[in-house]
A and B are shown apart, each in its own frame.
Chain A
Amino acid sequence: MRLISTSVSVAALTAILSSFATLPQIAFGQSKSVLIYGRGGDSVSLDPAKETDGESLNVCDNIFDTLVQFKDGTTEIEPGLAQRWDVSSNGLTYTFHLRQNVKFHDGTPMNADAVVFSLLRQHDAKHEAFKFAQMWSYWQDMGMDKLVAAIEKVDDKTVRIVLKSPSAPFLANMAMSFASVVSPTAVRKHKQEFARNPVGTGPFKFVSWTKNEKVVLDEFQEFWGGQPKLARVIFRSYPDSATRLNAFLAKEIHMMNLPTPDQVNVIRLKRPEAKIIEEPAMNVAYLAFNTTKGPFANPKVRQALNMAVNKGAIITGVYAGMGIPAVNPIPPSLWGYDTTISPYAFNQGRAKQLLAEAGYPKGFESELFYLPVSRPYMPDAKRVAEAIQADFKAVGVKVQLTTHEWAVYLDKTKRGEHPMALMGWTGDNGDPDNFLNVLLSGDNAKPPASNIAFYDNQKVTQILRDAQKVTVQNKRADLYRQAQKLIHQDAPWIPIAHSRVAMPMDPKVQGFILQPNGSRRFFRVSLNGK
């Protein structure tokens, strides 16, 4: 008798508890849905001009708009808050014609004053809002402080930006989050605290933010681009990826950001109905030869070593398949990527032969620096270095592995103390200039250098300079293809990999695409079409 009543009460308890348990499927408003996005960390702040980290900008990109924007899923530029724009023939003056009747979430109108305010607060130390940030990071990182001469209102619906020198990548910079248009009224009201009370023109408006817990955004029904399909988006933070995985498996979140390759396999097994989309990230991992040092000054040696490395094995072994072998210094998602270049095929016999031709029939000894930290483009640099060490040994090049503290590592490589070093880069604005010019132009090969191969081919440098001045994208793409061909021949790097990003999601989630720049846009996303 007693046994029966116990089991009955256990059953009752189970029923009561599990009735509490089902979390998603929240009916919100009438027919629209709430999407819960699980991510690896909290936002730092929600002022798009202040921050450089993905978790901040991913939220901001749904609250704010820019004058021009990246077309969904590409790095191409399309109209945003500016309906159209003209560039003067000398490439110095950009005139933006603003979209009409656009409102901020606080009801104030978006106009030329607001645009000028948003940009000038980052540029002009005398501007009333300049002091509201410790540092306008991206404005400086992208060199806008040195490039821009003036930001002016022409009339209520026209803004003019004058540059000091022609720079085609400027337009791509204007599509980056830092160039978002913010509500001047809200900035004046909240001052520094605007970063925690953001007001923009985007498809979602800010509702609340509980530090290290969640950010809540609601649809903005007066969005100029149409009505969002979701009523609410919640960004929840799960700093431990195993917890994030559990939350996804328990159906507490609809999407899981940044799963490890092993976790993707677990999801395929345990929640087979889940959708998993993958996309190469806008980054590159590479080995830079110090082209000013010893045997590496000889292009034949560099080509030979390019043939010696089995990139496929590195992708399978170290990236666990979450990457693609790199051929060029820019990732294939960028416009201007040269698809005609055939990679140096893995051929250690041919590599030995080339080394002999270059005067090293018995090989030589050298040193390879590897990163002390895990980066998105290279999850485990030590293991990459060990794989390369083994491959080089097979062609007679004995390599010693070295590393330093991260700050010291950056410092030493910028100064060129390395014979060879592993490094990588994550793109900012989807412009090839942001990879090729930063990493391989002779203009950036003086210490402290961002071109840590110290590669200085006058022809390439000139092409990269020209490509900054031309404003027609097709012509620029041609120039970048020429540069990639020359770089491929000279082989200042071994391009190793572009890592891949996976996004597992609930089968109900529709209309989500991974953006090459890592942004997460929820405007077109719905749950089962709702």
Chain B
Amino acid sequence: MFVRHALQRFISSIPVLLLLTLALFGALKLIPGDIALVMAGERATPERVEYIRESLHLNDPWWMQYGLYLKKLIFEADLGHSLLHDQPILTLFSTAVPATIELATAALLIAIPLGLFLGVVSAVARRSWWDRIASLVALTGVSMPIFWLALLLMWFFSLNLGWLPTSGRLSDEVLFDPATESVFRMYVLDGLFFGLSGRGWDLFFSACRYLVLPAVALSTIPMAHICRMTRSAMLDVLQQDYIRTARAKGLSKFKIVLKHAARNAALPVVTIMFLQAGALFGGAVITETMFAWPGLGKLLVESIGSRDFPMVQSGTLFVGVVFVFFNLLGDLVVGWLDPRIKQSAAQGRGHGA
């Protein structure tokens, strides 16, 4: 039953992805002026412009270009060739994506427990000082621009206290060549591996130190969302009759909250967690740029700046796929947690339950 549901949801996301490829393709076609000339810039020689036109198949009709793009994408898993780097886009992704995953995971490891904790506390102790503090933290989290927060963190922890490095991924003191020595392309994991295999813990400690500030900066928004959602879901549940019954039965407050309320409040919270995860794993443009973190977001910004259109196209598509994937995953987890939802979805009644 669950497998069938999963399969159905998976198939239904394919048209979304196809539509996404078409929209991306269309958007690039709408850029004013000759794309080849835009890419070549001030020094454009006719040969250069013609070369770019040829290599991007700009001389073919648009539907042929689109067909070719789809064919390569689907049948050859070919994301294309970056014009700027003269490298397959897949190769570039292979280093940038793990960096993004490392940062996003770290951010979620901060955001989820903290968001849940603050949310539950403020719901249970509603209108208390705890609630107000949690609300303030959450509100600051969503409304503070990340670039400003990033600068603030650097100013405080690096310039004033001197505790943490401003930016980057690894100290220059650690002799480690990721191109040849990295196993996971994630330095914290590599460091753990190095440490456990007796090659010293320098890499691990350095990687962790560099991860702290960007992860904290990146965690604020998802943390705030999770906190607010947890609070409102908990408040909702805590007013239900069965909670009153549980209370009347004489159960401890702790048990009520954790055992009876939290489970039922979990659905919307899980949904929002997956949505936030989808957004983070697609690359965090501002955080990565501010902290000089060599992830996907930074790669994308660079390709937009240098008008590397194949890269822009594939990068955006990748972000879209990640988002759709996490959405799907979220749906499945929610369906697994609450079987009523997938049944109603199967019967085409939406969220009737």
A interface list, Cβ under 8 A from B:
14, 17-18, 20-23, 26, 34, 36, 41-42, 44-45, 50, 52, 133-135, 137, 140-141, 192, 195, 207-214, 234, 236-240, 242-243, 246-247, 249-250, 252, 405-408, 410-411
Contacts and interface: CB of A to CB of B under 8 A. Distances in A.
Given A23-B172, A140-B48, A210 B179 contact: yes
Contacts of B37: 407, 410-411
Interface of B: 32-34, 37-38, 41-45, 47-48, 51, 55, 83-86, 92, 95-96, 147, 150-151, 154-155, 158-159, 161-173, 177-180, 205, 209, 289-292, 294, 298-299, 301-302, 306
Contacts of A240: 147, 289-290, 292
A59 B167 CA distance: 22
A218 to B, nearest CB: 12
Contact of B302 (A26, A41, A246): A41
B298 A20 contact: no
Contacts of B298: 212, 239
A239 B301 contact: yes
A52 B299 CA distance: 19
A448 to B, nearest CB: 9
* Shortest 5 CB-CB contacts between residues of A and residues of B: A407-B33, A212-B294, A407-B38, A17-B163, A208-B177
A172 B154 CA distance: 45
A237 B292 contact: yes
A414 B167 CA distance: 43
Nearest to A20: B209
A135 B40 CA distance: 12
A386 to B, nearest CB: 23
Contacts of B289: 239-240
Contact of A246 (B38, B83, B151, B299): B151
Contact of A137 (B48, B166, B177): B48
Contacts of A210: 95, 177-179, 294
B36 to A, nearest CB: 9
B78 to A, nearest CB: 17
B324 to A, nearest CB: 26
Contact of A44 (B84, B166, B169): B84
B47 A23 contact: no
B81 to A, nearest CB: 9
Given A23-B173, A208-B179, A407-B33, A246 B167 contact: yes
B45 to A, nearest CB: 6
Given A52-B43, A242-B151, A252 B32 contact: no
B206 to A, nearest CB: 8
Contacts of B294: 210-213, 237
8 contacts: A14-B163, A17-B162, A17-B164, A36-B172, A211-B92, A243-B292, A246-B155, A246-B167
Contact of A23 (B45, B165, B179, B205): B165
Nearest to A137: B48
A421 to B, nearest CB: 13
Given A210-B178, A211-B96, A212-B294, A21 B34 contact: no
Nearest to B169: A213
A243 B32 CA distance: 33
B173 A236 contact: no
Contacts of A239: 289, 292, 298, 301-302
A134 B87 CA distance: 10
